[in-house]
Structure 1
Amino acid sequence: MTRSKKLINAPEDVISQMIAGMVAAHPDMLCLEGETGRAVVAVDGPREGKVGVVIGGGSGHEPAFAGYVGRGLADAAAVGNVFASPSPDHIADAGRAADGGAGVVLLYGNYTGDVMNFTMAAEVLEAEGTPVRQVAVIDDVASAPPDRRGERRGIAGDFFVFRIAGAAADLGEPLARVEALAQKANANTLSMGVALSPCSLPQTGRPNFEIGEDEMEIGMGLHGEPGVRRDKLARADAVADELMGAILAELAPEPGARVAVLVNGLGATGQLELYILFNRVKQILDARGVVIHRSWVGEYATSLEMAGASVTLMKLDEELAALLDHPCRTPALVVGAVDPAPRAARRPRRVAATEAAPLAQGPLIETGRVTPQIFRALLAGAGAQIIAARDWLSELDGVIGDGDHGVTMEIGWKAVQTALDAAPEGETITGTCQRVAKAFLDAVGASSGPLYASAFQRAGAAVDDRLNLDAGALAAWLAGALDGILSRGGAQPGDKTMIDAWVPAVEAARAAQGIETDVLRAARDGAEAGMRATAELESRRGRSAKLGARSVGHIDPGAASTFILLRAMSAALDRALLESALQPRCVAPPST
C-alpha cells in the first residue's frame, strides 16, 4: 500500500508543533493558556462579565477549531489529537481561560468521544464554581433521519453555530440566551457532504479507507466515516443537486426566505471545483426564490487531505442574520471591523485542589499470586501488544469509522507505560489503576479515554481491599472494568462495541474454575468469541452507527483491542508466574 507524503517532523509532535505555529503566526489574535498546552485562547476575547465561548474537537479539521478563536467568535478552543476529542483537562483549561464570571458555553460536534469528554469537563468546571451550558452540533442530514435528529453528527455546520454563539456572547447576552441562540442556529443548519478520496493519518501514512478511481462516497463524515452509499463519480451539478435535495427537503425554505451558504472543501479540493459547486447551489436557490444573505466558499472544516466537499445552509430570520453580520476577527474568519480595544484584565481563576478518594483502610488481603509488581507487568505486556497491533486496529476502524482507533490506543498505552515506569515500588493495585486511568484520559481524550479511565477506576475500586489478587479477585477486577465502561459509555451488548467483547470475557472469567491463569485464559477466549461475533452485528453506537447494514461483515475495532488487551494480560501472567517459579529460593542450612 502506498504511503502518503506529509510535511511533518515526527508524528508524535504534530499537534504541539501545529499549535505553536498557529499561535506564532497570529500573536495579535491567539495565545496559549493552561498547563496542558492544548487551550488556544483569544488575546482580546475573554473579558470580565462576558459569557465565555469554548469550542473544540480533534485536529485534522483545520482551520477548525482553533482558527475560529478571536474577538466576536470563540474565546478559546480545546485542541484534541487527530480526529480525537480533546481530553477533559484540555477542555477545562480552555473553559478557565474563557471564564469572565458569567458562565461558559461549550460547543462541539455530536460525537461519542466529544460528548463524553466535554461533559466530564463541564462537571469539573461546575465543581469549581463556573456555570456551564453545552450544545452539540447536529447538522449532518446523511447521518440520521429527521425523527432521530439528535443522533446526527456535526460536520461543517459547526461554522454557523459557533458564529452565532460567539456573536451573542460578544454582544453581552447572558448565559441562557447564548445557549438558546446557539441551539436556534443548530436547529436551522443542515449539511451534507461527498468524498472523492481518502485521507491518511500522520501516524500511519496510509489511506483510512479505499475507494475506486471512478467512485464517490455520498454523505461522507468529516473523519472519513463512510456515508449513506457509494456511487459512480458524477458531474459537479449532479452532486450539488443530490446534496441540496437532501438539505432542502428538510430545511424547506419558503420563497423569499434568506439563507447563509457554506461550500466547504475537505482538504484537497481546489477553489475551482468549489466555485463550480457554489454556482449550482445558487442556481437551485434562485429557482426556489430563496435569497442568499451571506456565502462562504473555501476550506473551513477539513478532513486532513481528503478530496471532496460539503454544502451547508442555515435558514435565517432577522435575529440570526444580525448575529451572522456581527463583526469578528479570527485567523480563519473576519467579518466587518471589530473594536480594537485591548484585552481587558480578567479575575484570576482560583481552582481548589482536589484530593484523590482515600484507599481502603486496614490490612489488605494478601492471598493470591498476582502481586502489585506482577499486575504492573500484565499492564505493560498489554500495552506492548496493543501498540504492536496499531496498524491492524486502524485498518479495522477505517472500514466502519474514522481510522484512528489504533493510533488512539497507541497514544494511550504509551502514556500508560510512562505512568507505570513512574509508579513507586510499594504502590497497590488500586493505586496503579488510578494512575493508569489518569494517564490514559489525559493522553487520549476521544471516546477511548473516558471509557478506559472509567474502566480502570472502577476495576481498581473493586479490589481496593486487596494487596494481591487471587482468581476470584481477578474476576472481580475484570467485572469492575466492565461496570466502568457500561456506566460511562451507555452501550449495551449487541450494539457492536467493545462491550460485545467485555461481556463474554467477564462471564467466562466468573465461571472459570481454578487458579489466576485460568481466569485470564477464560476471559481471553470469551473476548475472542465476542470480537468475532461483532462481524455479524449492525452497529448501533458511535460513528459507525450511521452506516446501518453497511457495518455488517466487519469486526468492531474496540472489541478487537479488548481481545488483544486480555490476550496479552493472560500471556504476561503465564510468563510472570513461570519466571517466579524458576527463581532460586534461599534454603536454610541444616542445623548442626
Structure 2
Amino acid sequence: MTSKTRAKKLINAPEDIITEAIEGMVSAHPHLLRVEGATGRAVVAQDGPRDDKVGIVIGGGSGHEPAFAGYVGRGLADAAAVGNVFASPSPEQILDATRAANGGVGVVYLYGNYTGDVMNFDMAAEEAAGLGIECRSVAVADDIASAPAARAHERRGIAGDFFVFKIAGAAAEAGRDLDGVEAAARAALANTRSMGVALTPCSLPQTGKPNFEIGETEMEIGMGLHGEPGMRRGDMAQADAVVDELMAPIMAELAFKAGDEVAVLVNGLGATGLLEQYILHRRVAAILAEAGIRIHYSWVGEYATSLEMAGASVTLMKLDADLKTLLDMPCRTAALTVGDVTERARASRPDRTVAAVFEKKVETRETHLAKDGPITPTIFRAMVSLAGERIGEEAERLSALDGVIGDGDHGITMDIGWKAVRAALAQSPADETIETSCKRMAKAFLDAVGASSGPLYATAFLRAGTAVKDRLNLDAGAMAAWIGAASDGVQERGRAAPGDKTMVDAWVPAAEAARACAEAGDDVLACLDAACAGAERGMNFTRDIESKRGRSAKLGARSVGHIDPGAASTAVILAAMRDAARDLLA
C-alpha cells in the first residue's frame, strides 16, 4: 500500500468505530463482558470484580485487539478502559473502570509505558484517591529495542503486557493483598522481554493512509506497536535470521542458564498469519533447546496487534516457582482461557459508584472582577472556537507531520478534542466567566481525548483559567498571563523542557514574547501577534533538533529535519485566536 492508496476497512462512520466495536465485543461475549459507566468505555468482567479482592484495571488505545478488553474476565482483569485508536483512555474512562473493579481493598493499574497512558492513568489515580480508592500503577516496559538496559524505565510496552496481565490477575484471584499483587506484576515485568519486527505499515481508520513508510523489500527490527522506529531498518531476511536477531538481546538480558524454564509468546501484529508465526516459533524453540532452556508453555497467535501491520514479536518470560504457579492458574476471557474456571454466581456488591472528583460544580456568575480590557468572555470563546475550527482544517497536515516521527494520529486526536471543546462552549451561559469557560474546556478535552494531548491541554486550560480568575475581561497583561499559564501547565504535566522537541518548544517562546510585549505597554493584539511569532519560531526550531521526549525520542538523529506536530498545532491554535480577536476588535 503506497502513501496515496486509501486502505479498505469494514467500518461505518470513523467516529463510531470504538463504540461499535465495544458493542460488538459485548454482544459476542455477553456471558463474559458488560459495559459500565457513563463514558461507555469501561468493559467489565461479568464474573470478576468482588468485595475484598484487589481490582485489576488494564487499558490503552484501541487497534491492538484483543488487547485490552480481550483480557477482561475471571482470573485476569476485572475491567479495561478502552481508548481511541492508538490513544490512551481518558481519566474519566479509567475512573469508570476503576469504580467497577473496586472491591474495597485497592486497585492495580496495568498499561503500556507510553507518555499518554502514564499521564492519564496518573490523573485517574489522583481522582480515585479522592474517592477513597487506593491505586497502584505498573507501566509495562518490555520492549528491548526502545531503550538500553540502563534506561529500562524508558522502554515502551508491547506484547509483554500479556504476561504481566496474566500474573497480576492470578495474584488478585488468589487473594493476595494490594502489595502482593503489585509485587507479582513487577516480578513478571522484571522477567519479561520482547522484541518485534515490522514488514508493512498499518493505516488509521480515520485517514485510511499508512502511518509510516517502509520499502517493499525492507523490514524494521524493533518497531513498536504504533509504528515507532526500531533499532534498524534493512533488507528483508529469512525467518530464522530474523528470529536470531530478535532473540539474541532477549536471551542476553534475561541471563538464562541451562535448566531454566520459560514461557513463550510469538505474537502476530495483525497481518501475519499463523503459518509464518509457527515458522518463527520453530526457531525460537530451537534456540532455547540449544541453551538447555525448557519451554513451560507457548502461545502463538495474535495477542497484541497493530491494526493490519504485517510483522511479529517474540516475548519470553523467565519463570521462577511463583511465576509458574500464577501463570498456570485458571482464567477465562474472550482472548485467553487457561485451565478450568469454576462457574460462580455473579456476586452482589454494594454500589461503590461515586461522582468523580473532577466533576466539580461549575460556577457561571462572578462578581467583583476586573472589567478593563477588550477581550470579553464572548470574544474569548469565539477565539477558542476559531482555534478548534482551524485545527479541524489542519488535522490531515498535523497527522502527516506526526506520521514521520510518531504514530500519525496527532491531527486526528487534536480534532477530536477541539470539537469537544467547541461543543462544550456552545452550551456556555452568556455570562460565564473566562475562568469557568476554561474549566469547561479542560473537562471537554480530557473526556474526549486520551493520548498525551488530553492531560496536557486539560492542565493548560485549567492553569490558564486560574491565572485570570480575578478578571471578567482580558487586557494585554492578562492575555499574556493566560498564555504563560497555559505554557506552564503543559510543562508541568508533560515534564518537558525547551529543546526536547515537543509542543513546549512553541508554547514557551510564545509566552515569553507575549509577556515582553505586555510589559512594554503594547496592546492585546500586539501581544497576540508576538505570541504567534514566538510560536512560529519555536515550531521551526524543532525541525533542527533531536527529539528527547515521547514516542519520537527513540528516533534519535532520525528525528532531525522534521517539525514536531505538537509545536505545529500550538502555532495553529495561537494564530487562530489572534485572527479571531483581530476581526472582532476591528
Q: Match of 2:243?
A: 240
Q: Match of 2:553?
A: 545
Q: How does 1:283-432 map to 2 (within 5 A)?
A: 283-351=286-354, 354=357, 355-356=360-361, 362-432=367-437
Query: Hey, what's the Cα distance between the residues in 2 that align with 1:386 and 1:359?
Result: 27
1:487 Cα shift? 1.3
Query: Hey, what's the Cα distance between the residues in 1 that align with 2:230 and 2:353?
Result: 46
Query: Hey, what's the Cα distance between the residues in 1 that align with 2:559 and 2:298?
Result: 36
Q: Match of 2:176?
A: 173
- The one-letter amino acid of 1:432's match is S
Quick one: which of 456, 465, 469 aligns to 1:451? 456
Q: How does 1:196-275 map to 2 (within 5 A)?
A: 196-275=199-278
Q: Match of 1:159?
A: 162
Q: Match of 2:478?
A: 473
Counterpart check, 1:186 vs 2:194: no
Deviations 1:81-108 (A, max 9, x none): 0000000000011011001111110000
Alignment check: 8 A CA contact 2:197 2:223 kept: yes
Query: Hey, what's the Cα distance between the residues in 2 that align with 1:137 and 1:410?
Result: 29
Q: Match of 2:570?
A: 562
Q: Match of 1:522?
A: 530
- The one-letter amino acid of 1:570's match is R
1:515 Cα shift? 1.2
Counterpart check, 1:38 vs 2:46: no
Secondary structure of residue in 2 paired with 1:389: helix
Q: Match of 2:500?
A: 495
Deviations 1:442-492 (A, max 9, x none): 000111000000000000000011111111110000001011111111101
Query: Hey, what's the Cα distance between the residues in 2 that align with 1:285 and 1:131?
Result: 41
Deviates more, 1:566-575 or 1:61-70: 566-575
Q: Match of 1:536?
A: 544
Q: How does 1:69-80 map to 2 (within 5 A)?
A: 69-80=72-83
Q: Match of 2:61?
A: 58
Query: Hey, what's the Cα distance between the residues in 2 that align with 1:413 and 1:110?
Result: 26
Query: Hey, what's the Cα distance between the residues in 2 that align with 1:90 and 1:334?
Result: 26
Secondary structure of residue in 1 paired with 2:470: coil
How high is the TM-score relative to the length of structure 2? Answer: 0.97
Deviations 1:184-211 (A, max 9, x none): 0000000001110101111111001111
Deviations 1:413-448 (A, max 9, x none): 110110111111111111110100000000001110
Alignment check: 8 A CA contact 2:362 2:436 kept: no
- The one-letter amino acid of 2:407's match is D
1:344 Cα shift? 1.0
1:358 Cα shift? 6.8
Quick one: which of 143, 148, 160 aligns to 2:146? 143
Alignment check: 8 A CA contact 1:360 1:464 kept: no
Query: Hey, what's the Cα distance between the residues in 1 that align with 2:12 and 2:477?
Result: 48
Secondary structure of residue in 1 paired with 2:5: coil
Give every structure 1 segment of 4 or more consecutive aligned residues whose post-TM-superposition deviation is greater than 6 Å.
357-361
Structure 2: stretches of 5+ with no match in the other structure: none
1:548 Cα shift? 1.4
1:537 Cα shift? 1.1
- The one-letter amino acid of 1:480's match is A
Counterpart check, 1:508 vs 2:513: yes
- The one-letter amino acid of 1:218's match is I
Deviations 1:302-349 (A, max 9, x none): 000111100000000111011101001000001111111111111211
Query: Hey, what's the Cα distance between the residues in 1 that align with 2:272 and 2:400?
Result: 25
Alignment check: 8 A CA contact 2:365 2:433 kept: no
1:149 Cα shift? 0.6
Structure 1: stretches of 5+ with no match in the other structure: 579-592
Secondary structure of residue in 2 paired with 1:495: coil
1:508 Cα shift? 0.9
Q: Match of 1:281?
A: 284
Secondary structure of residue in 2 paired with 1:403: coil
Q: How does 1:87-126 map to 2 (within 5 A)?
A: 87-126=90-129
Alignment check: 8 A CA contact 2:456 2:493 kept: yes
1:125 Cα shift? 1.1
Secondary structure of residue in 1 paired with 2:73: coil
Secondary structure of residue in 2 paired with 1:123: helix
Alignment check: 8 A CA contact 2:202 2:309 kept: yes
Alignment check: 8 A CA contact 1:225 1:398 kept: no
1:131 Cα shift? 1.6
Alignment check: 8 A CA contact 1:371 1:468 kept: yes
Query: Hey, what's the Cα distance between the residues in 2 that align with 1:438 and 1:101?
Result: 27
Secondary structure of residue in 2 paired with 1:525: helix
- The one-letter amino acid of 1:196's match is L
Alignment check: 8 A CA contact 2:66 2:305 kept: yes
How high is the TM-score relative to the length of structure 1? Answer: 0.96
RMSD: 1.2
